[in-house]
């Protein structure tokens, strides 16, 4: 069934960069493709002529060609002529050049396996469709494989974005388009079918992945999950944190979880053999077995079982950080080059608020760079009247063109000069802990009440804690363990210290810590003595030790 609505071709211009290259298209290495086909059960020793395979975003045919090779081996072994294979494969792409390239590659491959020129061309044209997969439905399929495109939903044309959001519950918050590909593909599976993708892994932990995780937990079963953070599965270097996963229906069974170190042909072949219950190859990958999977929309914390056990025990014993403190993010202006100025700027002083940025934090200290953020709001929350601030008005008018380009300015033409977020001058005097977004470990600085945080900093406030005691606990390996368990790991074992991960940290009650222990933690935090902080924090949490975990320790 074709569900297509009329979407103008121009709406798909998001797929093209100014260079002519295509957004979201990343070529997968051949041996990674082979592993994914294995995990989908699409192997030449089966009767593939009776199965239907889908590739929802075929590009130039990386998956498609390997699938055709397997299909033809299976067909030739059974004496099935090409003319009877018309319903075996469907592949989609919105790019006409990709469709042409894939059809040519398929036709060439079919002729190599003995198909006539006419049969090869007819099958290639039937199998490869120039269409939007997300607006089409031709299932069910027994195997679905591929590498869906990575494109943030807000990058799409408004008409297309609205149509996708109407159809797919997974397009939640600032989701990436690949979650819709996963959702729609899962809905195209036959009862015994298997989906096997290589894909960015942010959705398994992030907030925007919660609807998709719930869908999977309620209607499907994860069969295996392979972490590729340390490996390189693509033909080009990309800033992506990929994984391979296979999902199907049927009866729940233990989930196999593994991590590839290099994703070399030998390592992939060995892992495929292990996962299929065959003899190990030249490399013996580590495979963990999860007897049960995660439920609802909870994040998939794919730690080794011993680490996951400790995490669950800590979560059962202690309350989340926001039971005794609050996690915030600093101010976003919409144009830092205009709204962040030097303290000597020719602007009314009561409009300038001291600002701290990520660059101002070094080894736990804060250097005063003399930055000021312009406050465009009254204490009531209303936007100021520029006529009352002639110097500020002249400054804004000199930058009028660049300020008015912003979305917030176009949305609020009468307040065209306002910042995206509201600046709160009263926040300056509040004691707070400052946490950079991207770091090797908790590079926390204590601001006793001098600055307003910038958007590239998270900050923690509390009425219940001595902020330096809290800073000591949050700087310890115990707090890092929570972040490590939930956060997206970047290349080189760096973390993203986002609010959604910081809020996963559990803490003891402030009153449960003995006075001497609180003082010792405070002293160690001031000295940046992390070895002592780690030891003291274990005592605060009632732990003898933590299971080992890898991170770049930049605290010292």
Picking from 52, 51, 47, 109, the residue whose alpha carbon sits closest to that of residue 78 is: 47
Distance CA 362, CA 103 (A): 55
The pLDDT score that the predictor gives to residue 387 is: 95
The pLDDT score that the predictor gives to residue 237 is: 53
Cβ contacts of 385-389, under 8 Å, gap ≥ 24:
386/417, 389/347, 389/348, 389/351
pLDDT digits (tens, 9 = 90+) for 20-69: 444 445 678 899 999 999 999 999 999 999 999 999 999 999 999 999 99
User: For the chain, which ranges sit under pLDDT 70?
Assistant: 1-6, 14-26, 231-241, 279-284, 438-442, 489-496, 551-556
Return the axis-axis angle of helices 477-486 and 305-317, rounded to nearest 10°: 110
The pLDDT score that the predictor gives to residue 347 is: 98
Q: 87-111 burial string, b = 16+ CB within 10 Å, else e? A: ebbbbbbbbeebbebbbebbbebbb
Picking from 467, 149, 162, 500, the residue whose alpha carbon sits closest to that of residue 325 is: 467
Q: Domains, the chain, ranges and CATH?
A: 12-302 (3.40.50.150), 303-325+462-556 (no CATH), 326-460 (no CATH)
Residues ≥6 apart with Cβ < 8 Å to 401 = none
pLDDT digits (tens, 9 = 90+) for 180-207: 999 999 999 999 999 999 998 989 988 9
The pLDDT score that the predictor gives to residue 15 is: 47
pTM: 0.80
Cβ atoms within 10 Å of 519's Cβ, excluding its own: 14
- 410's tokens: 């176009």
The pLDDT score that the predictor gives to residue 441 is: 55
Picking from 436, 258, 270, 256, the residue whose alpha carbon sits closest to that of residue 361 is: 436
């Amino acid at each position: 069934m074709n569900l297509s609505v009329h979407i103008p071709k121009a709406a798909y211009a998001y797929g093209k960069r100014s260079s002519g290259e295509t957004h979201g298209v990343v070529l997968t290495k051949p041996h990674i493709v082979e592993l994914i086909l294995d995990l989908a059960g699409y192997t030449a020793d089966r009767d593939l002529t009776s199965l239907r395979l889908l590739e929802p975003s075929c590009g130039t045919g990386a998956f498609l060609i390997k699938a055709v090779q397997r299909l033809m081996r299976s067909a030739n072994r059974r004496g099935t002529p090409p003319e009877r294979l018309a319903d075996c494969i469907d592949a989609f792409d919105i790019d006409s050049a990709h469709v042409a390239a894939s059809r040519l590659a398929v036709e060439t491959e079919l002729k190599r396996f003995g198909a006539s020129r006419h049969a090869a061309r007819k099958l290639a044209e039937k199998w490869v469709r120039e269409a939007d997969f997300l607006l089409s439905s031709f299932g069910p399929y027994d195997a679905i494989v591929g590498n869906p495109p990575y494109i943030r939903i807000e990058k799409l044309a408004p008409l297309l974005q609205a149509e996708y959001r109407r159809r797919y519950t997974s397009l939640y918050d600032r989701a990436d388009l690949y979650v819709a590909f996963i959702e729609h593909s899962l809905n195209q599976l036959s009862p015994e079918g298997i989906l096997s993708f290589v894909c960015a892994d942010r959705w398994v932990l992030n907030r925007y992945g919660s609807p998709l995780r719930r869908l999977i937990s309620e209607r499907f079963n994860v069969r295996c999950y392979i972490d590729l953070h340390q490996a390189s599965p693509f033909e080009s270097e990309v800033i992506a944190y990929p994984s391979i996963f296979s999902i199907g229906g049927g009866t729940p069974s233990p989930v196999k979880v593994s991590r590839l170190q290099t994703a070399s042909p030998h390592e992939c072949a060995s892992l495929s053999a292990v996962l299929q219950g065959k003899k190990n190859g030249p490399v013996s990958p580590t495979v963990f077995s999860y007897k049960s999977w995660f439920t609802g929309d909870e994040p998939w914390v794919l730690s080794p079982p011993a680490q996951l056990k400790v995490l669950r025990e800590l979560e059962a014993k202690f309350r989340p950080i926001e039971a005794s403190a609050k996690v915030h993010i600093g101010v976003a202006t919409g144009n830092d080059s205009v709204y962040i100025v030097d303290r000597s700027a020719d602007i009314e002083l009561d409009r300038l608020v001291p600002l701290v940025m990520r660059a101002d934090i070094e080894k736990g200290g804060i250097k005063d760079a003399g930055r000021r953020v312009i406050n465009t709001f009254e204490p009531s929350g209303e936007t100021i009247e520029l006529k009352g601030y002639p110097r500020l008005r002249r400054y804004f008018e000199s930058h009028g063109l660049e300020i008015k380009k912003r979305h917030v300015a176009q949305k609020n033409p009468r307040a065209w000069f306002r910042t995206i977020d509201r600046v709160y001058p009263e926040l300056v005097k509040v004691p707070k802990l400052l946490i950079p977004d991207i770091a090797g470990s908790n590079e926390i600085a204590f601001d006793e009440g001098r600055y307003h945080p910038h958007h590239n900093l998270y900050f923690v406030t509390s009425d219940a804690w001595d902020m330096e005691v809290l800073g000591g606990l949050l700087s310890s390996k115990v707090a890092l363990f929570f972040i490590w368990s939930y956060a997206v790991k970047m290349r080189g074992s760096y973390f993203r210290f986002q609010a959604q991960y910081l809020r996963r940290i559990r803490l003891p009650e402030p009153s449960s810590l003995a006075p001497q222990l609180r003082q010792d933690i405070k002293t160690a935090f001031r000295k940046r003595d992390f070895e002592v902080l780690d030891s003291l924090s274990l005592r605060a949490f009632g732990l003898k030790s933590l299971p080992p975990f890898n991170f770049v320790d930049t605290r010292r």
